[in-house]
Structure 1
C-alpha cells in the first residue's frame, strides 16, 4: 500500500517573522520562486522583497510574479523594468486597459464594471517547489508590523511536503488562465522610466538603508534563523490531511458557464459538519441573511459559535462594518458570541504584531472547528469573498495546530484586547471591556469618533451589501 502523503505546517502569526521567512526563502532558493498576491506595495518591505527576488534571478533562479492589477497599476515602471530580466516573468490578473489618469480610469470602471469588479485575492509564496506560504498577508509594511500608523494582526502558514504541490498547482492554474496577462503585452518596454540596472541600483540603495537605519531590521536579525526554523520540531505539525482549496479562476468571468466548487463551498461543508465548537476570525464579516441563519442554526444544534472581527475603531473599511452591524443583533439573539478587536489592544501578542504603530487592525482570516480542523487563508466571510473575488486557503486536520490557534484566539478575545458584544435587557447592542481591571460598558461603537459613526450609518442605508 502506498504511503499517505504527509505535509508539515508551521504557523506564522508574527509579522516580523513572516517577513524574515520570505526574505530567507528568497535567499535560499536554488531553482524557482513563484508568488501570487492581491497587493504588493511599493514601500520599505515591498521594495526590499522586490530586491530579494531580483537578486535571486541574478543567481539564475526562475522568478514568476502574478499580481492582481487593482493595486499594481501605479507600479507599472518597476514591473516593466523587472520583467526585462531574462529570469523574471510578471503577469497581471484581470488588468485595466487604462494605466493612468483618474478620469480615464473612472470611465473604464463604469464601462467595464462587471469584469473589473472581480479581483484575484489569492496569496501564496512558493520556493523551489519545496516550501510554500499561504495565508492572509499581502506584501507591504502594515502586513509585516513595520507601519508607524496601523499594523494588521494577520496569519500565514508555512508548508512543506505534499501541500506545496497543491499550492503550486493552484498557482499554475491562475498563471495559465486567460485573464493573467504578461506585463509586456500591456506596456511597451520603452515606457518604463527605469532601465533594469537603474532599478537594481535603486533597490539596493533602499534595501541597504532600510537594513542599516531601522530598528525593525535589527529585530528581524534576532528572529530564529531560517535553518533553525526549518529544523525546530516544536514549531511544525505533521498532518496527512492538508488540503489547499482555491477558487476556480473562471469566478472572475461574469456569467461563466461553469465554475468548480471553491473556498466558499469548502467553508460551508466544514462548518456544517461541526459537532461542538466553531471559532471564526474574519476582519470583514458580513454574513448576510443566509449566513446569519446558518450560524444561528448551528448554535441551535448545540455548537458553540464564536466570531472575532474588527471593531468600528479598528476596521480599515467602514463600509464593511456597516454591512456587519445590521446582522449583529440577530446573531446575538441566536446564541452566536461576538467579539470585536480593539484598535489599541494591549496584549503582548497583539503588541508584537503591530510593533511601532499605535493602532492594530485585524486581518487574519481563519476558522478552528472542533479543536481539530483549521482554515487559514484569504477568504473573508462576506459577499465579496463569496461571490466576486477569487480566494484560496489551507484546511489542516491537526489537533495540536488547532489548539495553538485556539490559544491565539483565546488571547485575542480577552477583555483587554477585544470588546465583548451583547444585548442588554431591552435588546439593544452594548459593548464591554476591562479598563484598569474594571468592566466598562458602552451603548455605541466604542472609541470610534462621531464622523466614523456617521459615515458607517450613512453607508448602511445604501444598497451595497453585495459589494462588501
Structure 2
C-alpha cells in the first residue's frame, strides 16, 4: 500500500490545478475575444429633431438662444438638492425625448424617485432611452426590465455580461477579465435634445445628499443652447455602438414587474426622507418661473467625450485624456485641479513638475485616506505626495467630516469628494466624469464640459477655494526629513504626522496595497 501524500503537497497540488484552470479560463477569453461579448441587437435610432416651438422646453430655449445666438447657457449644480431638482424639473417639462447615460443607477430612494419620473414621462408619450454601464447593474435586472417593458422606454447596457448573476457571472468576469475592465463612466441627462446635465453624479442617494452616513461632494453643469447638440451626438454614438446591448436581449420581464416597481416607487415617495427632495422640486419650479435667465451664456462651451469603442482603438488622438492634457500643459500661470481619485503616474508627475518649473501655480484637491471610498486608489496616490510637494505642487486632502456648507439633508455627516474638475488661468475649465488617474485616461470612457470663459472660471475657482478651505481640507507639507505632514489650519494650527482621522487598520491596508503592481487599474 502506497503512503498518502503529505497535506502540504496535496494542498499545493490543488492550488496548482486551480491556477491552471484560471489561466486556461483567461486564455480562452483572450482567444475567443469578442465572441464572448453579447452582440448588439438594437435598432439604430437618433435624437428626435428639435423644433422651434413643439415643446415647452423648445419654446423656452429658443427664446433664450434668440437673445444669445451661437452661445450656450450654463448653470452650476454643486448642491445635491439642487442637482436632484434640476433633473426632476427638466424631466417634468420634457414632451419629446429623454436620453440618459450613467455608470451607476442605485436601487434606492433616489433611484426609485427618478425611475418613477421617467415612467411618468413615458406615460405622457415621451420617448425615453436609458444607457447604463453593466458593471454595477448586477441584481437590478428586475428594476430595469420593469421600466423597459413600457412601450416608450428602452434600456441598453454598455459592455454587458451574458450571465446576469451568481457564480457564472463571476466566472465570466474572470474569463473576460481584460474586456470587462473597460467601462462607460459617462454621466448625462438630456431633455428634448435641448437641455443637458453633465458632470460627476451617478444616480443614488449618496450623490444627492440623501444618506445619513456618507455623502459625495459633487458637481454637475446644466447646459442649454449650442453645446447640447454635442451631447446629443455623444449619446447617439454610444447608443448605436457595438458595446450597447438592449436589456431585452439579456433578461426576461413581465408586466407585473412594472406594476410592482411603480408601487414600490409610490411607497418610497411617501417616506419622510423623500419629502425634502419633493419640496425642492416644487421650490425649483417657483425659482424657474421667477427668474427670466438663471444661466450664464458663453460662446465657448463644448461637451466632449471619449469614443464609445475606446477600448478597441490604439489611436489616442480623439481620446479625452489627449484633449485635457493639451489644455493643462498650455496653462501659463495657474492650474487648480479637483479629483477624488488622483494617481498622476510618472508621466503626470513629470508634467505637473514641469508646470511648476515654468512658475505655474499648481493646486490639487483630492480625498484624504479617511474620506476616500476606494482605499486602493489612495494606496496608488501615496507614492506621489512627496515628489509633488518637492516640486512645489500645493496639495489639499478633503476631511472626512468637514463643516457642512451645503443645504443637503445630511451635510454635516461624513463626506467624500466626487467632483472632477479643473480651472486654468482664470478662464479655461473642465467639469465632468474624468478622474486624474490611469483608469479614466486609458480604460474607462469619460465625458464632460470644457469652456473658455472668465465668469464660469470664477465660479469654478470659488468651488475649488471652498473645498480647499481650512474647514474642509488638510493642507499637506514636508518636514525636515521629507516626510508628509498634515496641517490642521483651524485654530489652533496643528501639524499631524499620520493620515488624519484614519485607523491603523485602514493605514496598513493602504500601505500594503501601495506595494502591489495595481496602478494601471486604479
TM-score range, shorter chain: over 0.9
Which 4+ stretches in 1 moved above 3 angstroms? 212-215, 221-224, 229-233, 256-260
Displacement of 1:353 in angstroms is 4.6
In 2, distance between residues paired with 1:232 and 1:41? 34
**Residue 197 (structure 1) shift:** 2.6
Structure 2: gaps spanning 5 or more residues: 1-67
Q: Secondary structure at the match of 1:438?
A: coil
Counting only pairs closer than 5 Å after superposition, residues 36-435 of structure 1 correspond to structure 2 as 36-101=101-166, 103-189=167-253, 194-207=256-269, 209-210=270-271, 214=274, 216-217=276-277, 220-221=280-281, 223-225=283-285, 228=288, 231-233=291-293, 235-253=294-312, 256=313, 258=315, 260-349=317-406, 352-353=407-408, 355=410, 358-435=413-490
Q: CA deviation at 1:219?
A: 5.5
Structure 2 match to 1:456: 510
Alignment partner of 1:19 is 2:84: yes
Query: Structure 2-normalised TM-score?
Result: 0.84
Query: Distance between the aligned counterparts of 1:432 and 1:222, measured in 2?
Result: 43
- Separation in 1 of the partners of 2:140 and 2:430? 32
Q: Does the aligned pair in 1 maintain the 2:475–2:489 contact within 8 Å?
A: no
5+ residue gaps, structure 1? none
Find the aligned partners of 2:442 and 2:409 in 1 and give their Cα distance: 31
* Superposed CA RMSD: 1.9
Please report how far the alpha carbon of residue 205 of structure 1 lies from its aligned counterpart in structure 2 after TM superposition. 2.7
For the residue of structure 2 that corresponds to 1:308, the secondary structure is strand
Number of equivalences: 456
Separation in structure 2 between the aligned mates of residue 296 and residue 118 of structure 1, nearest angstrom: 30
Which deviations, in whole Å up to 9, do the C-alpha atoms of 1:40-81 show, x marking residues without a partner? 001001110000000000010000000000111211011112
Tell me, in whole angstroms, the C-alpha distance in 2 between the residues paired with 1:109 and 1:221.
40
Structure 1 residues 453 and 293: alpha-carbon distance in aligned structure 2, compared to 1, 3 A threshold: same
**1:211-245: CA deviation from partner (whole Å, max 9, x where unpaired):** x5545336525743266279453x42211111111
TM-score, reference length from structure 1: 0.93
Q: Is the 8 A contact 2:158 2:243 kept in 1?
A: yes
Distance change (3 Å), C-alpha of 1:69 and 1:376: same
Q: Distance in 1 between matches of 2:159 and 2:281?
A: 38
Please say if residues 283 and 309 of structure 1, whose CA atoms lie closer than 8 Å, have aligned partners that are also in contact.
Answer: yes
Asked if the contact 2:100/2:190 (under 8 Å) is kept, the reply is yes
**Aligned residues of 1:151 and 1:353 also touching (Cα < 8 A):** no
State the distance in 2 between where 1:213 and 1:273 align.
Answer: 46
The question of 1:440 aligning with 2:499 is answered no
Q: Distance in 2 between the 1:285 and 1:353 partners?
A: 26
Query: Retained in 1: the 8 A contact 2:310–2:319?
Result: no
Q: Is the 8 A contact 2:103 2:133 kept in 1?
A: yes
Q: Is the 8 A contact 2:85 2:277 kept in 1?
A: no
Rounded Cα–Cα distance in structure 2 between residues aligned with 1:294 and 1:76: 44
Cα distance in structure 2, aligned partners of 1:326 and 1:222: 48
2:498 & 2:222 partners in 1: Cα distance? 39
Offset, 1:444: 1.3
- If you compute each CA radius of gyration, which structure gives the higher value, 1 or 2? 2
Name the SS for the 2:165 alignment partner: coil
Q: Distance in 1 between matches of 2:228 and 2:473?
A: 35
Distance 1:29 1:227 in 2: 18
Measure, in 2, the Cα distance between the counterparts of 1:223 and 1:385.
Answer: 36
User: Residue 241 of structure 2 aligns to a residue in which SS?
Assistant: coil
Q: Structure 1's 203 and 222: CA in aligned 2 closer, same or farther, altered over 3 A? A: closer
Deviation for aligned residue 1:463: 0.4
8 Å Cα contact 1:354/1:360 also seen in 2: no
1:347 Cα deviation after fit: 4.6
* Paired residues of 1:430 and 1:443 also in contact (CA < 8 A): yes
Contact 2:316 2:322 in 1 (8 A): no
- How far, CA to CA, are the matches of 1:449 and 1:219 in structure 2? 39
Q: Give me the whole-angstrom Cα distance separating, in 1, the residues matched to 2:353 and 2:511.
A: 25
Deviation at 1:108, TM superposition (A): 1.0
- Deviation, structure 1 residue 358: 1.7
CA distance in 2, matches of 1:188, 1:86: 15
Give distance in 1, aligned partners of 2:449 and 2:468. Answer: 23
